[in-house]
């Protein structure tokens, strides 16, 4: 998709015909029609309903034109800017790092256990909410995932972005660097361990494809986040089995089961969702 193709689309929609649009653009009608056909082929949808005497935008064409006009008119300081034509839910997320001050995608939250590093929570949060406002939702998912094993989170070690949310989460003890003077020695050791979540996030992006989401919409973002964390836990489980000496027939059966389950998930996702490339947050 090129900018000039969107300009052609807007001009045709404004004047109501290919011939008049071609005259205003100082090009042949055949060339203009070919460019629109290429755009329709790339998007996989029809942009115009062509009648004997009428020409009207289809619903996908209207949506595309509205988004293109929104991108053209938005200013750098505007809020709720549109960053991707095919994925309006994509946000610009500030990273606060010199090598990567920001990235485009959807905010995701990861919860890992303190000692073993097993992921017990993974959720996407569209709209780029403040970090402190997502803790209760993340804890809710973690409680649901752990209810079968009879465990509930009692302490949560977080960064400074989660300050001031103790009142909203009375069932857990929130530990962060802002409370350092009032922490016990054990809690200070837990706080040092908090950095262990950073390499886990890095492995999710580099080894489990969380850096790029190919599923459409907010549902696709949510599924992608959960599936990436599931793959991380599967690899964690296989390493633990090898470390404990569980090999041979048991491992082969488990690998076969995991392979069949992965194929089943891929078929379900492919049947339910359209696929679009998008960077993950």
pLDDT one-digit tens code per residue, 30-43: 988 898 888 888 88
Mean pLDDT of 123-148: 88
Mean pLDDT of 173-196: 87
Q: Do 162 and 176 contact (CB within 8 A), yes or no?
A: yes
Q: What is the pLDDT of residue 266?
A: 62
H and E: helices and strands count for the chain: 9, 10
Q: What is the pLDDT of residue 281?
A: 47
Domain 3-73 belongs in CATH node 1.10.10.10: yes
Residue 132 phi, psi (nearest 5): -65, -20
Mean pLDDT of 111-124: 88
Higher pLDDT, 222 or 251: 222
Q: What is the pLDDT of residue 225?
A: 92
Residue 84 phi, psi (nearest 5): -150, 130
Mean pLDDT of 146-152: 86
Q: What is the pLDDT of residue 272?
A: 46
Most confident of 14-18, 63-67, 120-124, 248-252: 120-124
Domain ranges of the chain: 3-73, 91-279
CB-based contacts of 118, cutoff 8 Å, min separation 6: 112, 233, 236
To which H or E segment does residue 192 belong? helix 185-193
Q: Which residue has the tokens 């494809």?
A: 209
Higher pLDDT, 279 or 117: 117
Mean pLDDT of 2-11: 84
């Amino acid at each position: 998709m090129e900018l000039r193709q969107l300009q052609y689309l807007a001009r045709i929609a404004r004047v109501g015909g290919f011939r008049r649009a071609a005259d205003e653009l100082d090009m042949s009608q055949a060339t203009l029609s070919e460019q629109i056909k290429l755009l329709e082929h790339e998007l996989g949808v029809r942009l115009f309903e062509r009648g004997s005497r009428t020409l009207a935008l289809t619903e996908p064409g209207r949506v595309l034109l509205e988004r293109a006009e929104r991108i053209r008119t938005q200013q750098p300081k505007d809020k709720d800017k549109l960053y991707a034509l095919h994925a309006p839910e994509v946000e610009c997320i500030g990273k606060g790092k010199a090598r990567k001050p920001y990235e485009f995608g959807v905010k995701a939250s990861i919860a890992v256990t303190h000692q073993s590093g097993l992921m017990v929570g993974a959720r996407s949060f569209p709209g780029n909410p403040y970090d402190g406002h997502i803790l209760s939702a993340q804890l809710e998912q973690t409680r649901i995932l752990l209810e079968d094993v009879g465990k509930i989170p009692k302490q949560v070690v977080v960064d400074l972005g989660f300050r001031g949310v103790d009142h909203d989460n009375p069932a857990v003890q929130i530990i962060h660097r802002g409370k350092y003077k009032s922490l016990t020695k054990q809690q200070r050791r837990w706080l040092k361990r908090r950095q262990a979540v950073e390499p886990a996030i890095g492995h999710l992006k580099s080894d489990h494809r969380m850096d790029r989401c190919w599923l459409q919409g907010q549902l696709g973002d949510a599924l992608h986040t959960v599936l990436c964390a599931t793959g991380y836990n599967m690899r964690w489980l296989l390493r633990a089995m090898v470390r404990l000496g569980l090999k041979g027939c048991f491992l082969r059966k488990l690998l076969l089961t995991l392979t069949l389950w992965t194929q089943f998930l891929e078929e379900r996702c492919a049947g339910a969702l359209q696929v679009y490339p998008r960077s993950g947050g």
